[in-house]
């Protein structure tokens, strides 16, 4: 039996993978992430895979773990754009210490960089609640 992380998308999903990764790399630029931080958010261990995907995103094979991570990242980005309409505020929020119980004085980015999908989920859930969606 395959685990969820091993299930691959059909081959015709190259366009979806390409669009998703292009969006991710644009968000990573706006958020001022370095390569290592972007790799952690994507759940990647291989720098060569990271740079291959960045150069040719359509060649990526995204399993459900990667898609789940991307979904949470896109949701976090969207919620920040809604909550903080000024781009510099929205894009800088991840880097500012946060006194909410969820963060305990750390930045949201520090929480997201634990490497666990669950931490992406809780940051998104927190922001969704701030938007009134949860």
66-104 pLDDT, tens digit per residue, is: 999 999 999 999 999 999 999 999 999 999 999 999 999
Strand ranges (DSSP E) for 16-131?
A: none
12-66 pLDDT, tens digit per residue, is: 577 889 999 999 999 999 999 999 999 999 999 999 999 999 999 999 989 999 9
Please give the helix or strand (H or E) that residue 56 lies within, else none: none
Which residue pairs from 22-25 have beta carbons closer than 8 angstroms and sit at least 24 positions apart in sequence?
A: 22/57, 23/70, 23/74, 24/70, 24/73, 24/74, 25/54, 25/57
110-126 pLDDT, tens digit per residue, is: 999 999 999 999 999 99
Question: What's the confidence (pLDDT) of residue 2?
Answer: 42
Report the distance separating Cα 11 and Cα 25, nearest Å: 22
Phi then psi for residue 63, to 5 deg, are -85, 180
């Amino acid at each position: 039996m395959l685990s969820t992380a091993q299930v691959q998308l059909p081959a015709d999903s190259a366009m979806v993978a390409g669009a998703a990764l292009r969006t991710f790399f644009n968000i990573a630029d706006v958020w001022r992430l370095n390569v290592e931080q972007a790799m952690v958010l994507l759940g990647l261990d291989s720098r060569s895979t990271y740079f291959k995907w960045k150069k040719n995103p359509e060649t990526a094979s995204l399993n459900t773990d990667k898609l789940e991570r991307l979904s949470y990242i896109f949701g976090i980005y969207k919620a920040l754009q809604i909550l903080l309409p000024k781009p510099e505020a929205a894009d800088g929020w991840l880097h500012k210490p946060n006194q909410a119980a969820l963060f305990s004085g750390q930045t949201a980015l520090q929480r997201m960089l634990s490497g666990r999908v669950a931490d992406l989920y809780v940051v998104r859930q927190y922001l969704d609640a701030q938007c009134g969606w949860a």
